[in-house]
Structure 1
Amino acid sequence: MHVSDYELFEVPPRWLFLKITTSDGTVGWGEPVVEGRAKTVRTAVEELMDNYLLGKDPQRIEDHWQTMYRGGFYRGGPVLMSAIAGIDQALWDIKGKHYGAPVHDLLGGAARNRIRIYQWIGGDDPADVAEQAREKVDAGFTALKMNGTGKLERIDSPAAVSAAADRMQEVREEVGDAVDVGVDFHGRVSKPMAKRLVEALKPHDPFFVEEPVLPEHLDDLGEIAQHTTISIATGERLFSRFDFKQLFEDGHVDLIQPDLSHAGGITEVKKIASMAEAYDVAMAPHCPLGPVALASCVQVDACSPNALIQEQSLDIHYNETSDVLDYLSDPSVFDYEDGFTEIPDGPGLGVEVDEAHVREQAEKDVDWHNPVWRHDDGSVGEW
C-alpha cells in the first residue's frame, strides 16, 4: 500500500480539507488550515505531498512526521506545522481504517468513555452573553466560554475593566455556580490590562482565563499569575512540543490548548499532552474549526489522562454559512448529552465525511480573513 493521490478542498466558513487516497483505495481525511491563510497552507501541503509523501507507505507515520519537520532547514511556525498537522490526521485516519480500529486504540487505548465539551457564547465584541448562556445551559451544556473584552487600549479606562467584570457577573447570575465559564482574553489584552482584569474577574470565579497575553509575551505569565488564583490557559498559537517546553518549565500555566490542526496533528499533540501530564498541567485542545479537526482532538482526548475538556465550534460566531456537522454523513457521532460527547469508536478518526457535500461547498468562493481592528487614533489594535 502506498499514497497514490490527494485532493484539497477549501470550504466555508473558513476551512481546508485534505483527502489522501492510497493504492488500495483507503481514504483518509485531514484538516490543514490556518484561519485566514487557507491558500498559503494549501501551497505548503502541496509541496509536502508532491515532493515527499506521494508513493510512500502511509503507515510509517512517525517517520513521515520527522521527515516533513526535520527535512526542511527552516521549520516550525503556523503554516508548515498546520500543513504537517492535516497530513498527519489523514495518515492516522488511513491507518485506523486499515486495521479497523479507532485512532485512540492505536495510541494505547481509551482512558475515558466520553469527553466534556464547552460551548461558545457572545461574539468577537461580546454582547447578550447572559441570554445566550441561559440558552446553551438549557440545551444541556455545562461549560461555556466567551471573549472577555472587545478592543482594548494598552492601558484602558476603569469603565473598560468594569464592563468585562459586569458581563461575567451577568452570566454567573444567570446560570449559577454549577456551570463553568471560561473567559478568553484572545491575546488582545496587554500585560497591565491583564493584571487588572484578572483581579476584577476573580469574584465571579471563571473556569480559566485564556491567552491573557500574546505568545510573544509568555514570560509575563508569572507576573499575571501573582495577581490571581484563576487557572491560566494558553497554547493555541504554539506549534510544537519545543514551543511548549519553556512554558512547562516556567510553571505558570494550568491548562494548555494546543490545536490539532496547527500543532503538528495527532502525532505531535499526543506528545505535548504527555509532556503536560509530567508537569501536572491539564489539556483542552483548541478547536474553533471543522469536523475533521474535532474528530482528531477527540481521538487524542480519549487516550490522554490529563484531557480536561474539549472546545468545539458548533454555532460559533464564525460559522455564518456552514457548521461543523454539515460536512458529516452521520452527524450523530457528535451528539452532545449532559455537556459531554462520546468517544467515536469507528475506524480511523471515527467520522464519515460527506464527500459529495464537501465537493459542492468547495465550488463556492471562500475568502475568510480575520478583521483588522484599529484604535481611535488609527493605530492597529489586537484582534
Structure 2
Amino acid sequence: MHVTDYELFAVPPRWLLLKLETSDGLVGWGEPIVQGRLRTVRAAVEELVEVYLLGKDPLRTGYHWRKMYQGGYYRGGPVLMSALAGIDHALWDIKGKHYGAPVYELLGGHVRDQVMVHQWVGGDSPGEVASEAIERRNQGYKAIKMNATAEFAPLEPPSAVETARKRVAAVRKAVGDDLHVGVDFHGRVSKPMASQLVDALDPYGLMFIDQPVLPEHSELLESLAERTTTPIATGERFYSRYDFKPLLTNGAVSVIQPDVTHVGGITELRKVATMADAFDVAVVPHCPLSPVAFAASLQVVFASHNAVMQEQDLGLDDPTESVGLRYLDDPETFDFRDGYVARPPDPGLGIEVDEEYVRERSQAEVNWYNPVWHHEDGGIAEW
C-alpha cells in the first residue's frame, strides 16, 4: 500500500481539510490549519506531501513524521508544524482503518470511557457572560471557558481590573461552585497587569488561568504561579515537545493546552502528554476547530492518563444545529451526555467525513483573518 494522491479543501468558517488517498482505497482525513494563515499552510502541506509522502507506505507514521520534520534544515513554528499535523492526522486515520481499530488502541489502549469537554462562553458585560454561562450549564456542560478581558493596555487603572473581576464574579455566582470555569487571558495582558489580574481572580476557584502572558514571555509564568492558588495554563501557541520542555522543568504550569492541529498532530501530542505526565501536569487540549481536529485530539485523550478534559466549540449538545458537525456523515457521531463525550468505537479517527458536503462548501470564499485591535492611542493591541 502506498499514498497515491491528496486533496485540500478550504471550508467555512475558517478550516482547511486534507484528504489522503492510498493504493488500496483507504482514505485518511486531517486538518492542517493556522487560523488566518490558510493559504500559507496550504502551500506547506502541498510541499511536504509532494516531496516526502507520495508513493510511500502510509503505515510508517513515526518515520514519516520524523522525516517531514527533520528533513528540512529549518523546522518547527506554527506553519510547518500545523501542516505536518494535518498530514499526521490523515496517516493515523489510514493506519487505524487498515488495522480495524481506533487510533487510541494503537497508542496503547483507552484509559477512560468518557472525557469531559468544555464549551466557550461569550458576552461583554457581566450580565451577558453570566446568562450565557447559565445557558451552557442547562445544555449539559460541566465546564466552560471565558475571556478575562477585551484589549488591555500595558498599564490600566484599577477600574479595568475591577471590570474583569466583576465578569468572573458574575459567572461564578450564576453557576455556583459545581461548574468548572476557566479564564483565558489570551496573551492580551502585560506583566504588571497580569499580576494584578491573577490576584483579583484568585478567590473564584477557577479551573485555570490560560495564557496570562504571551508565549514569548513564558519565563514570567513561574512567578505568576507562585502568587496564586489558581492553576496556570498555556500551550495553544506552542508547537512541539521542545517548546513545552522549559515549562515543565521549571514548574511554571499546572495545565498545558497543546493543540493537535498546531503541535505536530497525534504523534507529537501523544509525546507532549507523556512528557507532561512525568511532571504531574494535566493536559486539556485546545481545539476550537472542525470535527476532524476534534476527533484526532480525542484519540490522544482517550489513551493518555493525564489528558483530563477536551476543548470543543462544535455545539455537541445539539448536533442538528451545529455548523461544524454538518461536515460529518452522521452529525451525532460524538455521543455527548452530561458534559462528557463517550469513547468513539470506530476505526481510525472514529469519524466519516461527508465528502460531498465538503466539496460543496469548498466552493465558498474562505478568507478569514483575525481582527487587529488598537489601543486608545492608536497603538496595536493583542487580540
Give TM-score scaled by structure 1 length: 0.97
Q: For 1:48 and 1:202, locate their aligned partners in 2 and report how far apart those are by CA, in whole Å.
A: 46
Q: What is the match of residue 269 of structure 2?
A: 269
* CA gap 1:206/1:50 in 2 versus in 1, 3 angstroms: same
1:310 is paired with a residue whose SS is strand
Q: What is the match of residue 83 of structure 1?
A: 83
Could you give the per-residue CA deviations for residues 275-332 of structure 1, whole angstroms, max 9, x where no partner exists? 000011000000011011000110000000001110001259xxxx973211111122
Q: For 2:89 and 2:125, locate their aligned partners in 1 and report how far apart those are by CA, in whole Å.
A: 33
The letter of the residue matching 1:47 is E
Q: For 2:54 and 2:193, locate their aligned partners in 1 and report how far apart those are by CA, in whole Å.
A: 49
The letter of the residue matching 2:13 is P
* CA gap 1:42/1:123 in 2 versus in 1, 3 angstroms: farther
Percent identity of equivalent pairs: 59
**1:321-340 to 2 correspondence within 5 Å?**
323-340=323-340
Is residue 112 from structure 1 mapped to residue 112 from structure 2 by the alignment? yes
**What is the aligned-residue RMSD (CA, Å)?**
1.4
Q: What is the match of residue 220 of structure 1?
A: 220
Is residue 43 from structure 1 mapped to residue 28 from structure 2 by the alignment? no
Residue pair 2:126, 2:170 contacting (<8 A) in 1 also: no
Residue pair 2:127, 2:170 contacting (<8 A) in 1 also: no
Q: What is the match of residue 189 of structure 1?
A: 189
1:332 is paired with a residue whose SS is coil
Residue pair 2:10, 2:17 contacting (<8 A) in 1 also: yes
Could you give the per-residue CA deviations for residues 233-276 of structure 1, whole angstroms, max 9, x where no partner exists? 10100000011111111101000000000000000010000000
Number of equivalenced pairs: 379
Q: For 2:112 and 2:247, locate their aligned partners in 1 and report how far apart those are by CA, in whole Å.
A: 27
Deviating above 3 A after TM superposition, structure 1's stretches of 4 or more consecutive aligned residues are 123-127
2:366 is paired with a residue whose SS is coil
Q: For 1:323 and 1:84, locate their aligned partners in 2 and report how far apart those are by CA, in whole Å.
A: 26
Could you give the per-residue CA deviations for residues 179-228 of structure 1, whole angstroms, max 9, x where no partner exists? 01000000011111111001111111111000001000000011211221
Could you give the per-residue CA deviations for residues 110-164 of structure 1, whole angstroms, max 9, x where no partner exists? 0000110001001589871100011110111011000010010001111110111
Q: What is the match of residue 293 of structure 2?
A: 293
Q: What is the match of residue 377 of structure 2?
A: 377
2:332 is paired with a residue whose SS is helix
Q: Which deviates further from its counterpart, 334-343 or 109-118?
A: 334-343
Q: Flag structure 2 segments of 5+ consecutive residues without an equivalent.
A: none
**1:1-383 to 2 correspondence within 5 Å?**
1-122=1-122, 128-315=128-315, 323-383=323-383
* CA gap 1:127/1:287 in 2 versus in 1, 3 angstroms: farther
Q: For 1:124 and 1:308, locate their aligned partners in 2 and report how far apart those are by CA, in whole Å.
A: 29
